[in-house]
Structure 1
């Protein structure tokens, strides 16, 4: 047999998963196969079909009969998997309820189920019939290939590393920075035109993040327009992009007035990415608010359509050409991670260059193939890819770019199903990595290796898809990812009839009865009622996701959940996020296959006790359910629960018995109760918690032993923790020392990265708060610690970048203890707050002095904010070499001198301070002084970068000669 030199068949992991389910059942009782011939026949089918899947994977591209066979096989495998999952689940539930001494009850239950229903007989017969057809199709067995060279988790590729677009970038950059162009009016529209995958968006990203562009415009905004061009939606998105906040307006006139007002006083740069609409009236309407912007404002659009460019352009469009073979080789080499040693192999380089030529200068295809070969220097593998017959297939068979088609073909089999699953989402959808991993887990796509958790494996899968360019980092949003349109087309093609996206009614084909994965795009025009109307014949559907449902999108299908839950009994993943849902029907407990349930941002008041029947449930999302006060008592029965998200949901307390959920990997919050079954001690048994956790209502912890039993110091996977006491104006006298001891016993593991403490009732913090052993901490927030009279020693934390302190009502002085602890003998020799970048101190009513130690402190502090400290007097730290932004307000007794900080770009003073302003830094861009009774300032220095100056309600000594007003000034308020 010839060695297989590609990633593996799409169905191979599915066959393995069904075999694993069957094996789990058979292991329950060794005599199963003797008593139940049906299970043996099913096992033989699975063993028989696996070896020929690789041959079928290739032949399906040229032989429609093989393609039809694979569809029928996948449909039968879905049926088998559903039935086995039901058998396994019922047996597992029975095992949790049976007498420990009676080990045969589970196997008897399976026997009874098989005997009482004809489903198994029918299913096995169908599968046998499908498997026998492989002989008529002459499918051959192929050997497994060693995929040990597959890439590890990698960092994301930076856009700045893209090759071959330097001249294009410089040409467009010149247009963007030119304020004296020949454009009509004040607005310049610059189109970038080119075919899909040629790099238009990448080039726009390079320009959007260029430092010169950032300096030249007051603000920027990025809007992905895509095929759906709705003036209201695009206008709303522009407003949200430039304000970084949601917009609730729906009337076009009000939207445009709002946008016009926001654009009228500042120079803007807006990118409209992936534009398709060429209707002049639509564009004329859209651009009206932009016309009166500050001269030099620019709009950059990317489009595949030259007609679109001709409608909107004010300068000649910049057409992107295909990359040269040499530039493509450089891109390919980078993505393939070719080492110096491998490049010394002349055969490998020759094969690689021949592969690159087949990509016809298309960067997206080059990146994808480079990712496929990443880390592999096997000449045979490269030759096999180069000579594959898939290059020659007609696009009539699979309507995708040949290079992308072959990139998919050479994906490892474990990645193919994860990639295809992304076709459920609309084009330009912004993926969340964590959300996608949990859905993959629910669909059983993740194959744990060794001691790695499913979450860790899913993270590696995701990073591989990124490295192979099947997913890409979002242009502006951190931790968001997108899929290129051409890659999305590929995923849709590969998904076939098993995936259905309800988006556009006019273009939608009828839902195939084989569909297993459904999504409904609320922003489309496909009525939910149409989807509900076919639920009765889609009963084997595994996935339903409601997408893009926002409060401003009309929706009147409140009965949809009841209909779906009654029809779709095989669901494994269900999302009703933002659904107009007030109650969950009891029938939810009948969805025994369910692994993923998202009810976030709904109006549910309670959850039924039947939720406890969901033995397989892995993920339960209930964040921002503002009316939900209690979780069901039956929560303790969800033994396979791994992720519980209740963030921003105002629970009164946790249900009893949370300690039984030992598989929990993520618990967003724990509300401490007063009863024995829901005290903080329940956290002790949850040893596998990762990421972040908030522990609320700590006032219910009444003794040290309870805090100690939570075993927080053992949870090395927790990297962010919030410890919170509820505020209670009528609370009884608090034992301060007891509070300190309790907080001491809640000491987290030293792997911690972020710490937040709210409402702590002690007078002093325990030593661990601020201890240098917490070398990973980057962010600390202390709020509402009303009795504390001393700050912890944060100065020695080596990685602390962000510190916020607020609402300390008993703190009067900040001194040496803030910089180092009392036992620090050599502390003066090392920098204090060595990495701190932002410091915010607010609402400190009794704070009177800051005894600043002028020695090697705050070397990297860039942003300092002090607000609402009415008793603060004296001076502030004077030596802040890296300070960029300083804001002081409502500190009425503060008399101080602005520190000399050459890097300062923003100075805002307000609220009645006595201020002495000496020489201001030349880089200052924003200066605001308001409401100060005594201000001494002689501003005659050259502030050549100043763009905004505001002076109001100042009683004395403000002198700013007209001759010193810089040409850069755009906003002046006196």
Structure 2
């Protein structure tokens, strides 16, 4: 398949909107669509993006047949001034549309053959082990073939009917085959008879549940659990005759039925490696055909209100309303009949609700911007389901607690809510309560225990919540409790043990929690327990072993956990165990206990430093498929044979000792077992053919992969067969070639086929010998949206890098050993708004890099606007243009040009840099220009300093609080003493007006690595910190003025010029405002040659308007007894700008 720079997939739907199609393409490629309010701006943006590039666009499900509309569509996507290669694929259900828009012969997807339809139908309808007699089975097969032949080759129809008829009697099969629906009229716009038949065979309640799904717009995604809650709210789920089966359980069965018939489907495919409870949190969606069927069934019971279209109400039978893109007063809520049961709002900013429908059961504000609930909410006495996340209330309104029939309440993300009303306990029907992300909620009232029917409680990330009320034990119906991220929760009440039905408990990242209550032993129905990140948890009681049904236990990063209880071996149902990062856990003993858990399928012991051996008893774990020993660097013993571990697929030993890695290679494993994440590509010979083992990665679904020795791949097809793009669980990928080694396949072609999945967060490319990058690397912004970290290492032919700047989630970027890379320019950004989240940027061993353009655009936008840490090592030629980058912490090593470069005054001062570490700089003390531009620097460390004199520009670091210097030369004791006293002078003198504030103390601590003689002097005189330095000499500014006087001699005019320029220069670099007049007066009077120069006095009076004549006269009379006279020459000099030829360049 041809490679494209850009790709986009647009679901068009019957609602044809050129602007929305264009914005969808732009959002997928560029990631942002701000400011595109009309079709012309959309077209201009598309031209800007696509000009001169190759692009593949898929327009899925196009219905529009108007020639003028289709012409406008093609013109918008292809009429560009510059040469571009645009390929457009269109899918449509009508040959008319295909004929009008197609430029090549349309490809018509052929239906399944009758035999293929029958095979699919049979596979679904006949369950394995079904007790059918031979005669009965033959009869059913004949009927089934007839039904399959009527499905018109549509696999969805065959699947729906096959699932619907499983376990049904022969008579029901005959009824479906002989139904009159098959003989009804059918056009391309009609719902297929086979789908109608499947619908008609449903139970009455299931029909209601299915048709309700079509209330949502096409392409919708809805949370599985929330959908069930809405069905319950509308009375669509009948109670089970078995009192032990809840309404939610019946709802789960309904969802499974609809899934089996393909009437709904999961929004995304999941991996086998995902957690056990993932299905409970999956999103569901409807296929378009099923949506059409649902809309045909629901008929005039659904009211659609689109704010972009004219609204007219003509029907009194509406039961459901879908409101889109609406602003202002919501008229439908007032005008429509009392039969209205559910209202869903989507993209309705600043909606003003006046809810008068006392019969309303569902109010969904889930996709509206932040706001407040309407005051009329308390009148909705029949309301069962209220979804109002991100509200601005400071507490849950009392009106809400009057809704006694409410079963679902979602106010998640309401960041201002701090308390719940005592009346919350009145919501006795409540089944589901979501307050997650209410970060100011600090307590729950005792009345909370009144929610006796509550089954799901989500308090995740309520970070101020300190404790739970004792009454929480009254929530006997509770099944799921999520307290993850409650960082201030320090204890759990003993009454927690009264939650006898609790099956899922999440305590992740409750960092203050140091123990679990003893009563936890009574939670016999607990299946899933998460303690990940409970850093204060130090022990588990012996009663922990009473959780005999526990199947999932995550204790990752429980740093203080010391040991497992002896009863831990009684967790006989445990399948998933994660002890990664339990740094203090004593696994010398506990490893034997773990090896008794024979049902384990996943075991993670990574980063456990006490793990020193893997016992032979590990062979007891016959069901284990993944064993993670990553970064267990102290393992000294490992079994020679692991023949008992017949299910083992993945052994992860990243960061382990070379001994262990060698031992694993020598151990006798099954041939198909892989040691991950490191995978070394090796060539294998089969007869006269040569191939590589990279094909083994085809079946691997791991979170991390480090593929090394890619030069051993023997064909492009081998790499393509790995299908990296389909490995959705992969988040970290390393692609490494061995430098300067021969290749069978060119690196560029190989990299093109190793396209990672969209979920990738970490990417490292090493040893790549190509001169350019493949399409997916040039288009990362649209295909790798979640990428956080990139490392590019050892790229000997790389002169230009991909436009990493458009990766909107990128936080870390490292460039290392790129020997011919010369310039870091604006093309690196890929456009405006670059590197919005980049926090760390590292440049190492870029010996030819000469220029870094620190501004990304002409309007002065920084290339890295939010950079925190910048590290530049061994980049000796690098210069920063036009100014210093914006960062808060730097490390500069052996990169002299950065420190020596001088900038134009006022253009390159860094007000963000607070910490700097310089090492291996061999410049002379007077060549250190960088410090002149760092007025906000607070912490400075200089390592391996080899000059006898410290940098002159240190005096500009007036915000400096801490200074550490490693002096490797033999400075004299006198030089050191003078320098210490000088630092004390500039740090403690608070009289000078140029300092930013009167409480500035500047340097607070000084640490110096010295030779023995200087160390003895400092200890003797107690000079390790500046606070102890006394007998300070003249201040810094007094020294400067005195130095000026020596430079300019007896010329009064030159002297005044020098004083003015000193003041202006100090103001520009951020030392404060311009020197106040009284300061200039004091400096001049203190250091001028004689008081007889009374002409000087009048010259100062006219230098600024900020000082009054009375103040000056009183001051001068007190000091020298001067009287005022006029000398216009000096006055003009002080009021005029300093000329370049008279500028002063004295020592600063």
In 2, Cα distance between equivalents of 1:427 and 1:814: 55
User: Superposition RMSD on alpha carbons, in Å?
Assistant: 5.6
In 2, Cα distance between equivalents of 1:467 and 1:351: 21
Contact 1:591 1:614 in 2 (8 A): yes
Equivalent residue number for residue 665 of structure 1: 455
In 2, Cα distance between equivalents of 1:799 and 1:401: 47
In 2, Cα distance between equivalents of 1:265 and 1:754: 54
State the Cα deviation string for residues 486-520 of structure 1 (Å, max 9, x = none): 33233223223322222486586635222121121
Offset, 1:559:
1.8
Offset, 1:377:
2.6
Equivalent residue number for residue 492 of structure 1: 295
Equivalent residue number for residue 904 of structure 2: none
Going from structure 1 to structure 2, the CA distance change for 1:292 and 1:503 (only over 3 Å counts) comes to farther
In 1, Cα distance between equivalents of 2:766 and 2:292: 64
SS at match of 2:315: coil
Going from structure 1 to structure 2, the CA distance change for 1:290 and 1:442 (only over 3 Å counts) comes to farther
In 2, Cα distance between equivalents of 1:671 and 1:373: 46
Deviates further, 348-357 or 744-753: 744-753
In 2, Cα distance between equivalents of 1:790 and 1:607: 43
Equivalent residue number for residue 378 of structure 1: 170
Going from structure 1 to structure 2, the CA distance change for 1:284 and 1:883 (only over 3 Å counts) comes to farther
Equivalent residue number for residue 474 of structure 1: 267
Largest Rg, 1 or 2: 2
Gaps of 5+ in 1: 1-176, 180-185, 188-217, 550-554, 728-737, 842-847, 867-871, 888-899, 951-957
In 1, Cα distance between equivalents of 2:23 and 2:572: 44
Offset, 1:646:
1.8
Equivalent residue number for residue 751 of structure 2: 947
Offset, 1:532:
1.5
Offset, 1:574:
0.7
Contact 1:840 1:865 in 2 (8 A): yes
In 2, Cα distance between equivalents of 1:594 and 1:613: 10
Contact 1:942 1:966 in 2 (8 A): no
In 1, Cα distance between equivalents of 2:676 and 2:52: 24
1:631 pairs with 2:420: yes
1:460 pairs with 2:253: yes
Contact 1:583 1:607 in 2 (8 A): no
Offset, 1:665:
1.1
In 1, Cα distance between equivalents of 2:49 and 2:173: 55
Contact 1:801 1:837 in 2 (8 A): no
State the Cα deviation string for residues 338-358 of structure 1 (Å, max 9, x = none): 768377445444444444454
Going from structure 1 to structure 2, the CA distance change for 1:509 and 1:465 (only over 3 Å counts) comes to farther
Contact 1:791 1:817 in 2 (8 A): no
In 2, Cα distance between equivalents of 1:770 and 1:964: 60
Equivalent residue number for residue 336 of structure 1: 125
Going from structure 1 to structure 2, the CA distance change for 1:259 and 1:452 (only over 3 Å counts) comes to farther
In 1, Cα distance between equivalents of 2:616 and 2:542: 18
SS at match of 2:535: coil
Equivalent residue number for residue 118 of structure 1: none
Contact 1:944 1:968 in 2 (8 A): no
In 2, Cα distance between equivalents of 1:587 and 1:741: 44
In 2, Cα distance between equivalents of 1:368 and 1:687: 39
Aligned pairs for 1:267-416 (under 5 A) are 272-277=59-64, 279-286=70-77, 300-310=89-99, 313=102, 315-337=104-126, 341=132, 344-345=135-136, 346-379=138-171, 381-393=172-184, 400-416=191-207
Offset, 1:378:
2.5
Contact 2:121 2:159 in 1 (8 A): yes
In 2, Cα distance between equivalents of 1:968 and 1:580: 37
Contact 1:943 1:966 in 2 (8 A): no
Aligned pairs for 1:205-224 (under 5 A) are 223-224=10-11
Offset, 1:625:
2.3
1:684 pairs with 2:473: yes
Equivalent residue number for residue 443 of structure 2: 653
Going from structure 1 to structure 2, the CA distance change for 1:818 and 1:962 (only over 3 Å counts) comes to farther
Offset, 1:883:
4.2
Equivalent residue number for residue 554 of structure 2: 780
Going from structure 1 to structure 2, the CA distance change for 1:399 and 1:962 (only over 3 Å counts) comes to closer
In 2, Cα distance between equivalents of 1:815 and 1:486: 56
Aligned pairs for 1:738-777 (under 5 A) are 739-740=514-515, 742=517, 745=520, 751-753=526-528, 755-764=530-539, 776-777=551-552
Residue of structure 2 aligned with 1:227, choices 14, 23, 33: 14
Offset, 1:595:
0.7
Q: TM-score, normalised by structure 1?
A: 0.58
Going from structure 1 to structure 2, the CA distance change for 1:369 and 1:503 (only over 3 Å counts) comes to farther
SS at match of 1:481: strand
Aligned pairs for 1:50-69 (under 5 A) are none
Equivalent residue number for residue 882 of structure 1: 674
Residue of structure 2 aligned with 1:437, choices 221, 228, 234: 228
In 2, Cα distance between equivalents of 1:619 and 1:714: 22
Going from structure 1 to structure 2, the CA distance change for 1:814 and 1:336 (only over 3 Å counts) comes to same
Higher relative contact order structure (alpha carbons within 8 Å, sequence separation ≥ 6): 1
State the Cα deviation string for residues 584-626 of structure 1 (Å, max 9, x = none): 3453222211111001234343321122211111111122223
Q: TM-score, normalised by structure 2?
A: 0.50
Equivalent residue number for residue 25 of structure 1: none
1:717 pairs with 2:503: yes
SS at match of 1:518: strand
Contact 1:710 1:746 in 2 (8 A): no
Offset, 1:324:
3.5
Residue of structure 2 aligned with 1:542, choices 341, 353, 356: 341
SS at match of 1:597: strand
In 2, Cα distance between equivalents of 1:609 and 1:969: 54
Going from structure 1 to structure 2, the CA distance change for 1:312 and 1:803 (only over 3 Å counts) comes to farther
In 1, Cα distance between equivalents of 2:79 and 2:636: 54
- Count of residues paired in the alignment: 683
In 1, Cα distance between equivalents of 2:50 and 2:630: 31
SS at match of 1:544: strand
In 2, Cα distance between equivalents of 1:378 and 1:968: 56
Contact 2:303 2:321 in 1 (8 A): yes
Residue of structure 2 aligned with 1:502, choices 280, 283, 305: 305
In 2, Cα distance between equivalents of 1:431 and 1:239: 25
In 1, Cα distance between equivalents of 2:97 and 2:315: 36
Gaps of 5+ in 2: 271-278, 597-614, 666-672, 680-692, 725-731, 756-764, 779-794, 799-817, 819-1148
Contact 1:939 1:960 in 2 (8 A): no
Going from structure 1 to structure 2, the CA distance change for 1:683 and 1:928 (only over 3 Å counts) comes to same
In 1, Cα distance between equivalents of 2:522 and 2:744: 52
State the Cα deviation string for residues 405-447 of structure 1 (Å, max 9, x = none): 3333222212111122122111222233222111000001101
Equivalent residue number for residue 9 of structure 1: none
In 2, Cα distance between equivalents of 1:404 and 1:959: 53
In 2, Cα distance between equivalents of 1:692 and 1:342: 49
Aligned pairs for 1:955-970 (under 5 A) are none
Aligned pairs for 1:510-589 (under 5 A) are 510-522=313-325, 527=326, 532-533=331-332, 535-547=334-346, 549=347, 555-560=348-353, 563-564=354-355, 567-589=356-378
In 2, Cα distance between equivalents of 1:928 and 1:460: 43
1:421 pairs with 2:212: yes
Contact 2:438 2:462 in 1 (8 A): no
Contact 1:798 1:835 in 2 (8 A): no
Going from structure 1 to structure 2, the CA distance change for 1:224 and 1:588 (only over 3 Å counts) comes to same
